[in-house]
Structure 1
Amino acid sequence: MTREPGIAAGIRVVEIGSSASVAVAGMVLADADAEVVQIEPPGGSPLREEPAFGMWARGKSSVVADLASAEGLARARALICDADVLLIGLKPASVDRFGLGHASLEAEAPRLVYAALTGFGSQGPWRDIPVYDAVMQARGGRMYELSILFGAKRPAFAAAPVAAHGAAMALLEGVFGALRERERNGGRGQRIETSLAQSLMSYDLYHWAPGEPAPLRTEDTPFLPYSVARTSDGVWVQFAQNGPVLFGDFLRVLALDDEVNYVDAMMPGDPADKRALRDRIQEKVAEASWAVWQERLADERNLSVERFHAPGEALSHPQFEAIGDVVEVPGPAGGTTRQLGPLFDVPAWPLQPRGVAPALDSRGHAGFGPRGGKGESAVSPVTAGDPPGPGLLAGVTVLELGMWIALPFAATQLAELGARVIKLEPLEGDPMRAIGPVSFKIVQGKESIALDLKRPEATEIVHRLVARADAVLHSYRPGVPERLGIDFETLRKINPGLVYLYNGSYGSRGPKSYAPAFHVTGGAIAGGAYAQAGAGCPPPPEVVLSHDEMARVSQRLELSNEANPDFNSAVTAAAAVTMGLYARQKTGRGLALETRMMLSNAMMMGADFIEYEGRPERRELDSELTGFGPLYRLYPAAEGWVFVAAPRQRDFERLCVALDLGSLTSDERFTTAEARESNVQALVAALGDAFAKRSADALESELTAQGVACVRADQGPYPRWLFEQDWAREQGLVVDAPDSLVGPYPRFGAPLSSERPASLRGAFASGTDTRALLAEVGYGAREIEGLLERGVVAEAAADSND
Structure 2
Amino acid sequence: MTTQPDTESGGPLAGLVVIDLSTTLPGAQASQFLADCGADVIMVEPPGGSPLREIAGWPGLLRGKRSITLDLHDVDDLARLRRLLANADVLVSTMRPTSAARIGLTAEVLAERYPRLVTAMITGWGSTGPWAGYKGWEGLVLAKTGVMHAKRQLTKRPGPAYVSTPYASFGAAQTAVHGILAALIERESSGAGQLIESNLVLGMGSMDTYNWFYEMVLQRYPDAFEPMDSAYDNQDRPQAYLVYALLSAPTKDGRWLQFAQVSPRLMQAWLIELGLVEELANPKWKGFPMLESVELRTEFWEMMHERVGARTYDEWQQVFETNHNISAEPFRTPDEGLEHPQVVHDGRAVIVEDPELGAVRQPSTMIHSEGRPLTSVRPAPRAGEHSDQISSWLQELVESPATDGAATHSLPLDGVTVVEFGTMFAGPYGATMLTDLGARVIKIEPLEGDNIRSLVAFPEAGGAKVLQGKESVAVDLTSPEGRELVYEIVKRSDLVLECFRGGAAERAKVDEASLKKINPDLVYLSAPGYGVDGPYAQRPAYAPSIGAASGISVTDGGNATTPPTDRADLRRKAVTMHTAGATPAVQSDGIAALGVASAMLVGLYAKRKGIEVPAMVTTMIGTAAQALIAFNTNYADRPEIPKSDDQFYGLGALYRLYQASDGWVFLAAPTEKEWPGLVKALSVYVDLESDERFSTATARRDNDGVLAETLSIVFAGRRKQEWEDELTRQDVGCVAAAEANPESVLQTDPFFEAGYSVEAVSPIFDEHRRLAPLNKFSRSLTKADAGCTIGQHTRPVLREIGVEEARIADLCERKIIVCDD
Q: Does 1:358 align with 2:363?
A: no
Q: Which residue of 2 aligns with 1:38?
A: 43
> Which amino acid in structure 1 is aligned with residue 657 of structure 2?
L
> Which amino acid in structure 2 is aligned with residue 257 of structure 1?
V
Distance 1:278 1:715, change over 3 A: closer
CA distance in 1, matches of 2:119, 2:367: 23
- 1:375-434 Cα shifts (integer Å, max 9, x gaps): xx9789x995796x8322111111111111112211111111111111111111112212
Q: Which residue of 1 aligns with 2:431?
A: 411
CA distance in 2, matches of 1:383, 1:782: 50
Q: Which residue of 2 aligns with 1:772?
A: 796
Q: What is the DSSP-based 3-state SS (H/G/I as helix, E as strand, rest coil) of the residue aligned with 2:67? A: strand
Note if contact 2:503-2:532 (Cα within 8 Å) is conserved in structure 1: no
Q: Which residue of 2 aligns with 1:623?
A: 646
Note if contact 1:79-1:368 (Cα within 8 Å) is conserved in structure 2: no
- 1:518-568 Cα shifts (integer Å, max 9, x gaps): 11111111222222223x3122x4x6x222222222122112222311110
Q: Which residue of 2 aligns with 1:374?
A: none
Q: Does 1:9 align with 2:29?
A: no
Map 1:203-242 onto structure 2 (within 5 A): 203-209=207-213, 210-213=216-219, 215-217=228-230, 218-219=232-233, 220-221=237-238, 223-242=243-262
Q: Which residue of 1 aligns with 2:474?
A: 450
CA distance in 2, matches of 1:272, 1:758: 50
- 1:185-216 Cα shifts (integer Å, max 9, x gaps): 2x321111111122122133455324335542
Q: Which residue of 2 aligns with 1:557?
A: 577
Q: Which residue of 2 aligns with 1:67?
A: 72
Distance 1:657 1:734, change over 3 A: same
Q: Does 1:502 align with 2:506?
A: no
Map 1:159-238 onto structure 2 (within 5 A): 159-185=164-190, 187-209=191-213, 210-213=216-219, 215-217=228-230, 218-219=232-233, 220-221=237-238, 223-238=243-258
Distance 1:37 1:264, change over 3 A: farther
- 1:758-790 Cα shifts (integer Å, max 9, x gaps): 332222211111111111111111111111111
Note if contact 1:580-1:591 (Cα within 8 Å) is conserved in structure 2: no
Select 1:422's aligned residue among 437, 442, 445.
Answer: 442
Aligned-pair RMSD on alpha carbons?
Answer: 2.5
Distance 1:365 1:260, change over 3 A: farther
CA distance in 2, matches of 1:588, 1:353: 18
Q: Which residue of 1 aligns with 2:726?
A: 702
Offset of residue 93 of structure 1: 0.8
CA distance in 2, matches of 1:297, 1:252: 14
Note if contact 1:497-1:589 (Cα within 8 Å) is conserved in structure 2: no
Q: Does 1:131 align with 2:144?
A: no
Distance 1:315 1:354, change over 3 A: closer
CA distance in 2, matches of 1:613, 1:716: 42
Q: Which residue of 1 aligns with 2:672?
A: 649
Distance 1:621 1:638, change over 3 A: same
Q: How many residues align?
A: 784
Q: Does 1:633 align with 2:656?
A: yes
Offset of residue 225 of structure 1: 1.0
Offset of residue 276 of structure 1: 1.7
Offset of residue 21 of structure 1: 1.0
Distance 1:369 1:785, change over 3 A: farther
CA distance in 1, matches of 2:391, 2:610: 24
Q: Which residue of 2 aligns with 1:392?
A: 412
Select 1:467's aligned residue among 453, 472, 491.
Answer: 491
- 1:248-282 Cα shifts (integer Å, max 9, x gaps): 22223333332249995543543322322222222
Q: What is the DSSP-based 3-state SS (H/G/I as helix, E as strand, rest coil) of the residue aligned with 2:802? A: coil
Note if contact 1:32-1:350 (Cα within 8 Å) is conserved in structure 2: no
Q: Does 1:249 align with 2:269?
A: yes
Select 2:354's aligned residue among 311, 322, 331.
Answer: 331
CA distance in 2, matches of 1:579, 1:3: 19
CA distance in 2, matches of 1:688, 1:175: 43
Note if contact 1:12-1:84 (Cα within 8 Å) is conserved in structure 2: yes
Q: What is the DSSP-based 3-state SS (H/G/I as helix, E as strand, rest coil) of the residue aligned with 1:512? A: coil
Map 1:333-732 onto structure 2 (within 5 A): 333-347=356-370, 350-367=373-390, 390-434=410-454, 435=456, 436-534=460-558, 536-539=559-562, 541=563, 545-562=565-582, 563=584, 564-587=587-610, 589=612, 591-660=614-683, 663-665=687-689, 667-718=691-742, 720-724=744-748, 729=753, 732=755
CA distance in 2, matches of 1:394, 1:532: 39
Select 1:89's aligned residue among 82, 86, 94.
Answer: 94
Distance 1:269 1:345, change over 3 A: farther
TM-score normalised to structure 1 length: 0.93
Q: Which residue of 2 aligns with 1:748?
A: 771
CA distance in 2, matches of 1:278, 1:788: 44
Q: Which residue of 1 aligns with 2:57?
A: 52
CA distance in 1, matches of 2:601, 2:69: 32
CA distance in 2, matches of 1:383, 1:144: 51
Offset of residue 45 of structure 1: 1.2
CA distance in 1, matches of 2:342, 2:751: 45
CA distance in 2, matches of 1:15, 1:743: 43
Select 1:787's aligned residue among 804, 811, 815.
Answer: 811
CA distance in 1, matches of 2:738, 2:746: 15
Q: Does 1:157 align with 2:180?
A: no
Note if contact 1:401-1:475 (Cα within 8 Å) is conserved in structure 2: yes
Note if contact 1:205-1:441 (Cα within 8 Å) is conserved in structure 2: yes
Q: Which residue of 1 aligns with 2:224?
A: none
Offset of residue 175 of structure 1: 1.2
Offset of residue 739 of structure 1: 4.4
CA distance in 1, matches of 2:85, 2:298: 60
> Which amino acid in structure 2 is aligned with residue 550 of structure 1?
L
Offset of residue 684 of structure 1: 0.3
CA distance in 2, matches of 1:122, 1:297: 49
Note if contact 2:368-2:616 (Cα within 8 Å) is conserved in structure 1: yes
> Which amino acid in structure 1 is aligned with residue 229 of structure 2?
L
- 1:569-607 Cα shifts (integer Å, max 9, x gaps): 111101110111101111175744211111111222222
> Which amino acid in structure 2 is aligned with residue 216 of structure 1?
D
Moved more, 62-71 or 110-119: 62-71
Moved more, 558-567 or 630-639: 558-567
CA distance in 2, matches of 1:451, 1:383: 46
Q: What is the DSSP-based 3-state SS (H/G/I as helix, E as strand, rest coil) of the residue aligned with 1:628? A: strand
> Which amino acid in structure 2 is aligned with residue 532 of structure 1?
D
> Which amino acid in structure 2 is aligned with residue 35 of structure 1?
D
Distance 1:41 1:241, change over 3 A: same
Note if contact 1:626-1:633 (Cα within 8 Å) is conserved in structure 2: yes
CA distance in 2, matches of 1:489, 1:356: 35
Q: What is the DSSP-based 3-state SS (H/G/I as helix, E as strand, rest coil) of the residue aligned with 2:44? A: strand
Note if contact 2:192-2:406 (Cα within 8 Å) is conserved in structure 1: no
Note if contact 2:346-2:372 (Cα within 8 Å) is conserved in structure 1: no
CA distance in 2, matches of 1:263, 1:762: 37
Gaps of 5+ in 2: 1-5, 220-226
Percent identical residues = 34
Moved more, 257-266 or 639-648: 257-266
- 1:87-145 Cα shifts (integer Å, max 9, x gaps): 01100011112222232233332111111111111112311222111211111110111
Moved more, 439-448 or 429-438: 429-438
